[in-house]
Structures are given as structure tokens and as C-alpha cells.
Amino acid sequence: MNQLDKIVALAKRRGFVYQTAEIFGGLNGVYDFGHLGTLLKRNIRDAWVQSIFTTNSNILFMEGSILGPYAMWEASGHTKNFSDPMVDCTKCNRRFRADEIDLQASCPVCGNKAWTDVRQFQLMFQTNVGASADSSSIAYLRPETAQSIFVQFKNMMATNRVKIPFGIAQIGKAFRNEITPKQFLFRMREFEQMELEWFCKAEQVDTYFTLWVNSRREFYDHLGIHSDKIKLREHSKDELAHYSARTTDIEYEYPFGWKELEGIADRGDYDLKQHSKYSGKDLMVYDEVSKTSFVPSVVECSVGVDRLFLTLLCDAYTEDTIDGEERTVLKLSPRIAPIKAAVLPLVKKLSEPARKLYNDIAAKGIMVEFDESGSIGKRYRRQDEIGTPLCCTFDFESLDDNAVTMRDRDTTTQERINIEKVIGYIRERI
């Protein structure tokens, strides 16, 4: 099994991620998240919000709709430009992204060389809103969250009394009818984005671009991702998105190679100008100093929750040998781990006093698990596999000395501490 397959298997076995509608054969590129997956995603979102807000607190938050009218996506340029080149093999009928395979070579699936012409494939999911299905009812599921930020920019600014420079951040679902969804959560058809649109004057773009690239890069250190597996890559002119004057990707070295984790783009005044032109509404801002109106420029930071989720799993996945026994461990940073501690009574007879400790920890809002079934070794292995940083074992001695054994996930070293100190001990380490 290659490493990605092992991660996919672990994610399912331990209840992080399931295939959507698995009992009906699934839906390609779409996933459901189980209990641990949901907790991990929540921690990712919280960490992102905290990270951008500590970089600059002049940030507003919004939640736009998923459905958007045709006119909006026409103005943004997506109806015309948001497509990927597609090619089919006429022998086996497999479909590929034309920019991902060598068209001079044979089909990697059936070995024939019988390609169709390359066509552009629209990536947005189209639907109709309301009872009539004519062209006036066409709407799209958003392929990026950013557009509702641009369209609501004036309302957000007026109702929150902010001044340029400031940011609007949004976390929400996005949809793309990817030609070849693949590599688990890397390229999905339904996914979630965390996007920050930073509005500033044109002459401030370079300064803020550098600031946000550095801040976003530091975020991944903060999450404990191996530094040598992260690098910055500048887009060449011919790969820039239709709205971007400059893009720097933060790439991660996945088991399938170096790929984009996050993109930071200089969108200039492209989006606001387009929306203003197509809607006929003024989206300019008045500058008190120069007494002139101008269209703000935008620096965008955009990363997928699910792609970061996959990155964290890839980075944390470790196989090692402890005392001659092989184990799999997710070395997630304690601040992002879904479960922070597990309380394990050595035997079922000790469950009652151990549960009291569990209840005390849970009452403090710390994500904690209680597990009383199976051998203690097996229970440690389970917690290792889901990335729980600390296990707290309640044994017979605990009844006499009012102390428990705290076991560290990564080193497996154990330390005896008084029960009264357990909550503080966990808090210090997460």
C-alpha cells in the first residue's frame, strides 16, 4: 500500500472521512466527514481565523450564499474563463485534463493513441432557480467564496464603518465539476475554502502581498507542519488565473509530489471593476486625504479546509516501532488534534472513578475521550492513530495515591501526576 492509500484507510477506519453515499456506490470527488473529521475541520477553521486576525485585526467576517445569479458569474469572468482543457480517449472513453497528460504519448489506461480534440470544459455547476428553466433562471454553485465578498464589499464597508486597508474573510463551501477529481481530499467536487480578501490602495499591494505571504507561510509552521515540506512558488505569467496579476503558491510535498496548498493572489481592482461595470453600481471608495474616489485593489489568500486537512494527515502520518512493536501514529500538533486527551481505566472495575475524572475534563471544554474496552495497549494504539496527544491511565494505585499516569503520544514516556493537576497538565500541552 502506498502512503496515500494508508492515510485513506486510516481516515475511514477511525471515522475521519467517509465516501459520500457509500452504500449507493459513492459520488466521485465528494466526501462526508465523521466525528473526528468534523472536530479536526473545526480546529482548522478556528486556527485560520485566529491566524489572520492576529496578523491584522482589521478584518470583517461574512457568510455569502452558495447560489449566485448568472449575471454575477458573468461579471466575474467565470462563465467565460473558468474552465479546464479536456480530452477523451476514443478507444476506452476515459476522460483526462489535457494539461495533465502527454498527448504525444498513448492513453495511460488502454495504451492506444486515439485522442479527441482538446475542448474547454466549464467547471461551474449550473442549475436553475425557480419554476421556469429558461436562461433568465440560470444560477451557479459558487466555485470560489471570494465573489460574494466583492459583491457585498460596499454594504460591508458601509455597515461596519471600516476604512481601507481592511479585510473581509469567509469560510464556506465551494463547488467545481473537476474533470478528474483525485488524490482523496486534494481535488474534490465539493469542498470548503477559507478566503481573505484584503482591500487596499494600489500602491500598497506589494507591501501587503509580502506581509500576507509571510503570515500565511508562518501559519503552517504554527500548525506544526514540517518546514522542509513547504515551499513558495511564483506563478509564471501563462498559468495565472484570469483575475490575477501575480500569484504565489504555498506548496506542500504530498506523497504524490509538490502541489498547491494555498494561493496568494494580487487580484488588483479586476473584480470590483468588473462587478461595477456589469451591475452599473459604483463600487468606489472615497479617500479623505486626496479627496478623490478610487477602486480598491485586492490581495487574496485562499486555502481549502479539506486540502489542509489532507496536508495535516500526510504530514502527521508516522509508522514507528516502540519496544519492538510497530505502530501507526498521527503526530498532529496538539493544538489541532481533534481529541486532546483520553481517560483510560486500566480495567473496567475502575471505570467509575475514572469517569469522574473524564467528566471533570470534559466540563472544562477540553475534547476528551473515555475508553474502557480492550487491552490498555490496544487503547493506546487507537489514540495514537487518531493523534490524541495525551492518555491518562487510571489504575489500582490511583485509588490510594490520587494520581494517574500521563502518557505522551510521540515519545510514549509516562509520568505520574496528581489527579488535581491533570487539567492544568493537559492545558499546558495543547
The footprint of ligand GAP (CB under 6 A) covers 144, 146, 176, 178, 187-188, 191, 193, 195, 260-263, 300, 302-304, 306-307
Smallest distance from ligand GAP to CB 250, Å: 8
Residue 181 contacts residue 64 (beta carbons within 8 Å): no
Nearer to ligand GAP, 68 or 263 (CB): 263
Nearer to ligand GAP, 213 or 261 (CB): 261
The one-letter amino acid code at 276 reads S
Nearer to ligand GAP, 151 or 368 (CB): 151
Smallest distance from ligand GAP to CB 146, Å: 4
Q: Which three cell numbers stand for residue 237?
A: 505569467
Q: Which three cell numbers stand for residue 270?
A: 479586476
Q: Cα Rg for the chain, rounded, in angstroms?
A: 25
Exposure b/e, 3-38, CB count within 10 A at least 16 = b: ebeebbebbeebebbebeeeeeeeeebebebeebbe
Smallest distance from ligand GAP to CB 271, Å: 10
The one-letter amino acid code at 381 reads R
Nearer to ligand GAP, 178 or 360 (CB): 178
Smallest distance from ligand GAP to CB 352, Å: 46
Give me the half-sphere count of Cα atoms (radius 13 Å) on the Cβ side of residue 42. Answer: 11
Smallest distance from ligand GAP to CB 28, Å: 12
Smallest distance from ligand GAP to CB 294, Å: 23
Residue 140 contacts residue 70 (beta carbons within 8 Å): yes
Smallest distance from ligand GAP to CB 67, Å: 17
How many helices and strands, by DSSP H and E, does the chain display? Answer: 13, 24
Residue 390 is inside which H or E element, if any? strand 390-394
Residue 395 contacts residue 357 (beta carbons within 8 Å): no
Nearer to ligand GAP, 195 or 371 (CB): 195
Strand bridging mode 166-175 / 317-322: unpaired
Please tell me the distance from the alpha carbon of residue 147 to that of residue 137, in angstroms, as a whole number: 19
Q: What is the number of the residue whose Cβ is closest to ligand GAP?
A: 304
Nearer to ligand GAP, 176 or 331 (CB): 176
C-alpha distances in angstroms, 90 versus 104, 179, 350?
A: 15, 16, 66
Smallest distance from ligand GAP to CB 405, Å: 41
Nearer to ligand GAP, 148 or 193 (CB): 193
Please tell me the distance from the alpha carbon of residue 192 to that of residue 180, in angstroms, as a whole number: 18
Please tell me the distance from the alpha carbon of residue 397 to that of residue 399, in angstroms, as a whole number: 5
Smallest distance from ligand GAP to CB 128, Å: 24
Closest listed residue to residue 336, CA positions, set 219, 243, 247:
219
Nearer to ligand GAP, 300 or 369 (CB): 300
Nearer to ligand GAP, 55 or 311 (CB): 311
Closest listed residue to residue 191, CA positions, set 179, 173, 177, 178:
173
